[in-house]
Amino acid sequence: MVKPKKSKYRNKKTKVGDLTFDSRAEAARFEELLILKESGVIRELELQPRFPVVINGKKVFEYRADFRYVMVDTGVVVIEDVKSPTTAKNPTYRVKKKVVEAVWDITITEYIP
């Protein structure tokens, strides 16, 4: 029998209704965002928005954030990634985040529970 592969950062896939999230923290943040949406604080909640990075006509990679939503009071679009303190310090993640922010002219907000 083959043992299931352990995740690199020991996160556990977690279900919320019919949706499966990569970690308990991401699932918990989704539930918080649902409450904010229902209370009218945010709108247009989107899961896993994708940001392809194309340089000189070639796709280099595709960045997938956890959430995108709009703050109702300001109209600001928030792109959010749930990160543990360990993954937030990962050098590969840091570089990808900077490249995506530069190419797309956006700011990625890290949510560290």
Per-residue pLDDT of 75-96, as tens digits, reads: 999 999 999 888 888 999 999 9
Q: Tell me which residue of 42, 103, 49 sits closest to 70, measured CA to CA.
A: 42
Measured CA to CA, the distance from residue 13 to residue 26 in angstroms comes to 9
Q: Is this model's pTM higher than 0.85 or not? A: no
Would you state the pLDDT for residue 51? 97
12 pLDDT more than 80: no
Would you state the pLDDT for residue 9? 52
Would you state the pLDDT for residue 102? 96
